[in-house]
Structure 1
């Protein structure tokens, strides 16, 4: 799992599109903290630092502690929006999380054991059907990825979600027969006719 990170933020008194544009002109990113049985709280984040956090990876699966006016709140990002042209963050949504609470998040699938797959050694191709899966887990125990091993798989074999060994405290929300990866047969290209054969066919035409 990724460690909990700290964020300094300031409260926003005004909300709405006009107020958000003004916040961005000040080099800040408008954001909101919601959930946990409390009213939504409008905040502003440093735009440059927010952009670095997003592009560092694992942003939506990282637990943060946001400090606003001396009060700290545990949150996890639920969504963010980027400017379609300049790629800088224009808004972030954070969900409050409490101790003992579980949440659903998407984590990437990492495939290992390729060098121990007879199917791949015999020319088969690894086909990743699901590049990420949804899991339910305590926020402080979110894994960076779910490991899927293809060791021992032959051509035509398929690995379903039930065959994956999950870390303690992690539950996969997908249906049990969800296909994650499969080993497909090698592609056989049609052979080009020999030069003599091609000429013979042309003469018959």
Structure 2
């Protein structure tokens, strides 16, 4: 996986008012933690980060955080971020340090390749059962996705995790018997999704976590 350079600035002030001023200036409050090092409060330029994701940075992107005005840099991944429930703008980011020579576990999305015969010829439906698979690898070897060829699937056929083609440097640590996709008959009943209850007014930020985050010590999330 390609490493993305991202310039960051150190934050000298904390608190809600400071965080609001930071966001008003087009930057996102953030913190870097982990690897036995002290927490470092930083800011990230909102547009620069958005451009990185627009240009293909995936959910497991490895960033090389470069501290402005110094020669300090550190590899890190986004572990958690907060979004405003109304505007959907990112309000705060947690970066966790990663060592490029130490293996880590992450969840990687699967990607179906081809069109199943059961869909193309017999009108079946390709139903995704599992969309993320847990892997272990060095940070630089994390794939953006895991491709699975579904073109030979007839109605009633399924693909399991054990059938994912091997990728050099990547170990799949998920349940090998877990079903990824299967082709079902178009008249087969699909379990309905329960209708969502009317949502109460949301005032708290939405927190989106990726895996089991290491909790940053002493760093309060600014709202």
Return the TM-score normalized by structure 1. 0.81
Residue in structure 2 matched with residue 73 of structure 1 by the alignment: 74
Deviation at 1:59, TM superposition (A): 4.0
Deviates more, 1:141-150 or 1:123-132: 123-132
Deviation at 1:21, TM superposition (A): 2.1
SS at match of 2:110: strand
Residue in structure 2 matched with residue 146 of structure 1 by the alignment: 146
Residue in structure 1 matched with residue 158 of structure 2 by the alignment: 158
Contact between 1:51 and 1:88, CA under 8 Å: does it hold in 2? no
Question: Structure 2: any 5+ residue segments left out of the alignment?
Answer: 189-223
Deviation at 1:56, TM superposition (A): 4.6
Residue in structure 2 matched with residue 132 of structure 1 by the alignment: 132
Task: Report matched runs for 1:1-205 at 5 Å.
Answer: 1=1, 3-68=2-67, 69-114=70-115, 117-120=116-119, 121-187=121-187
Return the TM-score normalized by structure 2. 0.75
Cα-Cα RMSD: 2.1
Deviation at 1:55, TM superposition (A): 4.8
Residue in structure 2 matched with residue 195 of structure 1 by the alignment: none
How many angstroms apart in 2 are the aligned matches of 1:187 and 1:147?
28
Deviation at 1:178, TM superposition (A): 0.9
How many angstroms apart in 2 are the aligned matches of 1:16 and 1:172?
42
Deviation at 1:153, TM superposition (A): 2.1
- Paired residue total: 186
Deviation at 1:22, TM superposition (A): 2.7
Larger radius of gyration: 1
